[in-house]
A = this chain, B = another copy of it.
Amino acid sequence: MTLRLAILGAGRIGQVHARAIAETQGAELAAIFDPMPEAAKAVQDKYGCDIRSVEAIAEASDIDAVLICTPTDLHADQIELFARAGKAIFCEKPIDLSVPRVQACLKVVEEENAVLMIGFNRRFDSDFRALRAAIDAGQVGSVEMLTITSRDPNPPPLDYIERTGGIFRDMTIHDFDVARWMLGEEVETVMAQGAVMVDEAIGKASDFDSVNVLLKTASGRQAVITNSRRTTYGYDQRIEVHGSEGMAFAENSHEARVQVANAKGYTRPPLLNFFMDRYTEAYAREIATFVEAITTGTTPPTTGQDGLLALALAEAANISVAEGRAVKVAEVLG
């Protein structure tokens, strides 16, 4: 039996998922929706699916699951619509910029007993999974300290930044999720610091482009997150875990495994530059995991709760920067 999926939103990430579906055994892209007809048409031409409206997809009896790749402000409403329509749902992060709105949305999901998976693609990266497996195998003992370095090659367009709700909810949210995954214990306190070093326009939009965050759990596990919106050397994605018995870390992916040596030194290529090159395989595994969760009736590994808690950490970081103090996550979750 082949699972039939629909995608809402034919933008960059919608296309990534369309391709992932095409490569997934037991899954098929049945329909695409996008408010811009040409965008929907391009996906139709490439994958041979229908073009349908959001409502038609919700009502369709031949659609099993939907991938929500629309702008963030539509996510919560669409999750509720499809939860009520009995579809399995994959939604890109964040669910919403408001913690209470996310909580209300997740209540509907719970009431409808809907399958909801949130798109935290890094959890499906093979290197990060190997790191997590090393922790699970006891290779570092009990986790004590975590360092996540995450730097984008370039800031997104300014009009995008203005709609994101700030770097913590847009960019760091991935690292918050990774931190929760690696720490193996919920974060209790957040301290954060930000600066504008890359582009003054980002500061004028009341956002930061360079931030550091400290997290701490009840038992004393700590994490550091370092973010910048710009590098010259590619997409920098590293995780280091320090524990009672050892340390483990996931290294970056370079463009090629080649070095050149001369009087200037030994040079290896820069890092893979774009998230779609870096996480190609992770996106494919993410969709395969979603399909498998539906097929086997199991809970997806990244739930609505994960989406809520990562957002709560982002919100706590916002307050910490604004008020110059340590913020309890409980303050944000209410």
Which A residues have a C-beta under 8 Å from some C-beta of B?
126-127, 130-131, 134, 139-140, 142, 144-145, 147, 149, 151, 189, 191, 193, 195-198, 210, 212, 214, 216, 220-222, 224, 226, 228, 230-233, 236, 242, 244-270, 324-326
Contact = CB atoms under 8 A, between A and B. Distances in A.
B210 A258 contact: no
A186 to B, nearest CB: 15
A242 B228 contact: yes
A251 B271 CA distance: 16
A258 B134 contact: yes
Contacts of A228: 144-145, 242
A88 to B, nearest CB: 27
A328 B175 CA distance: 28
B151 A149 contact: no
A263 B232 contact: yes
Contacts of A144: 195, 197, 210, 228
A248 B259 contact: yes
Contacts of A196: 220
Contacts of A266: 233, 254, 267-270
Contacts of A260: 134, 139-140, 246-248
A263 B270 contact: yes
Q: What is the count of identical protomers in the complex?
A: 4
A232 B245 contact: yes
A127 B216 contact: no
Given A144-B197, A195-B220, A236-B247, 6 more contacts: A140-B260, A193-B216, A196-B220, A197-B220, A232-B263, A264-B267
Nearest to A203: B220
A143 to B, nearest CB: 10
A154 to B, nearest CB: 12
A236 B242 CA distance: 11
A233 B242 CA distance: 11
Given A242-B228, A325-B324, A258 B251 contact: yes
A180 B237 CA distance: 26
Contacts of A242: 151, 228, 231
Nearest to A153: B263
B197 A258 contact: no
Contacts of A145: 197, 210, 212, 226, 228
Contacts of A259: 248-249, 251
Nearest to A142: B197
Given A147-B147, A244-B197, A257-B253, A233 B126 contact: no
Given A232-B246, A261-B247, A267 B269 contact: no
